Structure 1
């Protein structure tokens, strides 16, 4: 006689009562971002930060010196092309300092944007093996970019002191050290927001990964990096209200060198755009998590 053995089906409603640390359930149409779980995995963000920093320069000869070479060479190129050949005004500021200050701020933004735009593709093998809040990775990218910014900003400060000691018509305003953390926080939020939007969209539209670098270059020329905001005709200034990188680039020169900055209307408009992009990026990124591993 054959005995019919049947295994009772598990009671899924009690899974979270059986000692599991994390229970993954299907999401509805409304995406709820669990910031508490992101904070709980802050140590993992620190590990990703160290991984990115070490692996990026592990096999390079000059190592972190590339952080110093890049802004110097770029500023010299802009000095020759836009300062000497095109003869674009720099509001009385030495051209090298004008270009270098804009480059330092723009480099941090472009790093956050471009690296976050490839979060799913670069971490596909890791995401497919273990669960953790995916927003930890974009946060670690922003932390990694801070190293570059800190080194380049220190170089900018040293170069500025050299100009002051040489008798150049420039002064260093020390209140910049109080304002820079706020500017960096703003730029990090903007870079993460746009990067997360691109990353979420590349899950379905892979072509976006190839045009990101091109768009970043065009965006830079639409931002007062190589020209001052005061040179922009009045009829075109509405566009810079919508460009959220206008305020931080102009403001770092204002607080550091005392050059003309932008008005509160531009700052308010830029801040609204940044908040909208950050919120949209987090929501789209969270929605794309469930589809990413099937399509990447």
Structure 2
């Protein structure tokens, strides 16, 4: 061994932080190494949601219940929009449960740079951990609201409502993954843009509401005017909502072609969002 080697040259480091040379270098191995941090962030998001509240985790049930009641009164009773022969509360809750997960992933991920600028500027960890923790913590919330949906299904089944499970229920895990990935991808794209254009943070809050009306949440796709169905079908979330209802309630439409389109669009958004997020994270501290 060369005796002239310095002490630093003999040291072996567990982690070396190096500059990224490519936007496609995602450091996925580092993300796996920091999986414990990912779990802690998920727990933090879940606990902080109901900390110092009177009702606590019950708020997970309140939001979909109140929204379902309002939709039933406004769109079902007043507007008399058909619900494919399903009980109105059950029809609306199916759409709300699925939509809320996508919307939460998108809105919360879209401000991840702005909301965590202080943490990002002080300590190193793979930045991709943060949006991933948002998606996983929202998955816990989705699980709670999904249980509420199942209880409503059981209630109406006991009352003799006409609906049934179909084979498409086996696609449920895929639908959840696609909703999460689409929300994550679009959220990271918007988050990267909000580092320079703060207006987008305000736009997304009501933009997500407008997008909901372009998705068959308050109406079945079969009830939409024929000349607008193609436009609604351009929304990748439309088929995912339809599959969700078709699988659990036996109502709605299913198309392998539409599912393939939603999958392709989701993968495209996720890849583009990850690359843009990875590129912006190197310099966003100077602009946020």
Q: CA deviation at 1:76?
A: 0.7
User: Who is 1:291 aligned against?
Assistant: 283
SS at match of 2:98: helix
Among candidates 211, 230, 234, match of residue 242 of structure 1: 234
Which among 241, 248, 254 is matched to residue 256 of structure 1? Answer: 248
Q: Is residue 101 from structure 1 mapped to residue 94 from structure 2 by the alignment?
A: yes
1:209 correspondence with 2:201 = yes
Deviation for aligned residue 1:111: 0.7
Distance, in Å, in 2 between the alignment partners of 1:142 and 1:187 is 10
Q: Cα deviations across residues 241-285 of structure 1 (Å, max 9, x unaligned)? A: 321111111111100011132322221111111111110100010
Paired residue secondary structure (1:290):
coil
**Which residue number corresponds to residue 196 of structure 1?**
188
Q: Which has the higher mean CA deviation after the structures are superposed, 173-182 or 32-41?
A: 173-182
Question: What's the offset of the Cα at 1:55?
Answer: 1.5
Change (3 A) 1:196 1:15: farther
**Structure 2 counterpart of 1:27, from 17, 20, 23:** 20
Instruction: Write the mapping of 1:95-244 to structure 2, written as runs, cut at 5 A.
Output: 95-171=88-164, 173=165, 178-244=170-236
Which residue of structure 2 lines up, in the alignment, with residue 56 of structure 1? 49
- Mapped contact 1:15–1:23 kept (Cα < 8 A): no
CA distance in 1, matches of 2:14, 2:218: 52
SS of the residue corresponding to residue 254 of structure 2 reads: coil
Q: CA deviation at 1:42?
A: 1.1
Gaps of 5+ in 1: 1-10
In 1, distance between residues paired with 2:126 and 2:162? 51
The answer to whether the Cα contact below 8 Å between 2:216 and 2:238 also exists between their aligned partners in 1 is yes
Q: Kindly tell me: are residues 136 and 30 of structure 1, through their superposed partners in 2, closer, same or farther at Cα, counting changes over 3 Å?
A: closer
Cα distance in 2 for partners of 1:147, 1:40 equals 22
Aligned-residue offset at 1:54:
1.0
**Unpaired runs of 5+ in structure 2?**
1-5
Contact 1:101 1:156 in 2 (8 A): yes
Deviations 1:40-67 (A, max 9, x none): 1111110000011112211111011011
| Structure label with greater radius of gyration | 1
Conserved? CA contact 1:241–1:270, under 8 Å: no
Distance 1:16 1:88 in 2: 73
Contact 1:113 1:191 in 2 (8 A): yes
Query: Helix, strand or coil: the match of 1:224?
Result: coil
Partner of 2:29: 36
Deviation larger for 131-140 or 161-170: 161-170
Task: Classify 1:152/1:15 alpha carbon distance in 2 versus 1 (closer, same or farther; 3 Å).
Answer: farther
Confirm or deny: 8 A CA contact 1:247 1:267 kept in the other structure: yes
Say whether the 8 Å CA contact 1:31–1:283 is kept in structure 2.
yes
Provide closer, same or farther for how the CA distance between residues 27 and 17 of structure 1 changes in structure 2, counting only shifts above 3 A.
farther
Equivalent pair of 1:203/1:291 in contact (CA under 8 Å)? no
Asked if structure 1 preserves the Cα contact closer than 8 Å seen for 2:23 and 2:276, the reply is no
- Asked if the contact 1:33/1:286 (under 8 Å) is kept, the reply is yes
Alignment TM-score, normalising by the size of structure 2: 0.93
What TM-score, normalized to structure 1? 0.90
RMSD: 1.9
Offset at residue 176 of structure 1 (A)? 6.9
